[in-house]
């Protein structure tokens, strides 16, 4: 595996071995050209009106931070010419100049320029929370990233409870007092949870809550983030698809016999 393969994937707390990154020791603050392959990340390109992979060029450079960290600034380009800039802080378990160093992405920051959006933008009011969850995860904040995922789950449940005029009590913080009962009522009428795990809707909420309230440590929160993130995105996709289905039914002027979600 090359370093570009690691940099093209979501951040992970685990160290993974890669081919040699630097042939010799790099001094602090010194720049070095490296041969690690091309980096590719997916973004929504407004020019192409689609999700595209943005690629780096062949020539990439790093700056030495210390014996086991390097900093990298990259320009990634869509096929249409639209660009995005990305900064990485890469950490090696031992020295970065070893023959086969074990590395991970310690931090990653994207600078979204004109006509570029994060993929999660299509989730309306929840896009910002999803973005914050992903950024917290990339910063190594296990519990912090999960807080945003749970907030999405709470907010979307409350949103549809309000739409369907379902009554519920609240904590002082504004969250449902009995989330289990509220989620059950909402899902029975709106089916916000995908059928694949609709029976475990409250278990998902409890899993998110356990990490936030200290039942797990930061490392386990980071380890579980990707799986929990997929389930939350599954709910967002399910809601979005149902809204699209509702619009399609209306455009065909069919008689709506079952209640389909709308907002």
Q: What is the pTM of this model?
A: 0.64
Rounded-to-integer distance, Cα 248 and Cα 254, Å? 9
Task: Say what the pLDDT of residue 255 is.
Answer: 47
11 to 119, 167, 196: CA distances (angstroms): 16, 40, 27
The number of beta carbons lying within 10 Å of the beta carbon of residue 49 is 8
Q: Worst-scoring range by mean pLDDT, 65-69, 207-211, 251-255?
A: 251-255
- Higher pLDDT among residues 103 and 169, named by residue: 103
Rounded-to-integer distance, Cα 111 and Cα 21, Å? 25
Rounded-to-integer distance, Cα 3 and Cα 78, Å? 21
Q: Which residues contact 252 (CB under 8 A, 6 or more apart)?
A: none
Residue 182 has pLDDT above 50, yes or no: yes
Any idea what the Cα angle at residue 49 is, between residues 43 and 52, rounded to 5°? 35
Task: pLDDT band for 165, please (50, 70, 90 cuts).
Answer: confident
Task: Say what the pLDDT of residue 256 is.
Answer: 43
Q: Worst-scoring range by mean pLDDT, 26-40, 41-55, 175-189, 238-252?
A: 238-252
The number of beta carbons lying within 10 Å of the beta carbon of residue 85 is 14
Per-residue pLDDT reduced to its tens digit, 252-261: 555 444 444 4
Backbone φ and ψ for 35, nearest 5 degrees, come out as: -110, 95
β-sheet bridge partners, residue 40: 55
- Higher pLDDT among residues 84 and 209, named by residue: 84
Mean pLDDT of the chain: 84
Q: Which residues contact 92 (CB under 8 A, 6 or more apart)?
A: 15, 21, 68, 69, 98, 101, 102, 103
Q: Let me know if 263 is exposed, middle or buried by CB neighbors in 10 A (0-12, 13-18, 19+).
A: middle
Any idea what the Cα angle at residue 94 is, between residues 222 and 88, rounded to 5°? 55
């Amino acid at each position: 595996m090359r370093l570009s393969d690691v940099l093209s994937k979501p951040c992970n707390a685990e160290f993974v071995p890669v081919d040699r990154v630097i042939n010799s020791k790099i001094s602090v603050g010194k720049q070095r050209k490296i041969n690690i392959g091309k980096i590719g990340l997916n973004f929504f390109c407004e020019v192409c009106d689609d999700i595209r992979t943005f690629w780096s060029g062949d020539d990439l450079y790093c700056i030495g931070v210390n014996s086991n960290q390097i900093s990298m600034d990259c320009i990634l380009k869509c096929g249409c010419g639209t660009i995005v800039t990305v900064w990485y802080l890469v950490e090696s378990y031992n020295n970065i100049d070893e023959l086969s160093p074990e590395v991970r992405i310690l931090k990653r920051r994207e600078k979204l320029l004109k006509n570029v959006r994060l993929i999660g933008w299509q989730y309306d009011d929840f896009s910002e929370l999803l973005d914050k969850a992903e950024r917290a995860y990339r910063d190594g904040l296990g519990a912090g990233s999960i807080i945003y995922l749970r907030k999405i789950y709470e907010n979307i449940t409350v949103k549809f409870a309000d739409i369907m005029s379902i009554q519920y009590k609240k904590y002082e913080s504004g969250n449902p007092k009995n989330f289990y009962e509220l989620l059950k009522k909402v899902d029975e009428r709106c089916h916000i949870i995908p059928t694949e795990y609709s029976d475990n809707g409250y278990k998902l909420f409890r899993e998110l809550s356990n990490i936030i309230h200290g039942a797990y440590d930061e490392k386990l929160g980071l380890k579980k983030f990707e799986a929990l993130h997929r389930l939350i995105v599954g709910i967002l996709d399910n809601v979005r698809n149902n809204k699209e289905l509702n619009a399609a039914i209306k455009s065909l002027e069919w008689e709506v016999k079952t209640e389909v979600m709308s907002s």
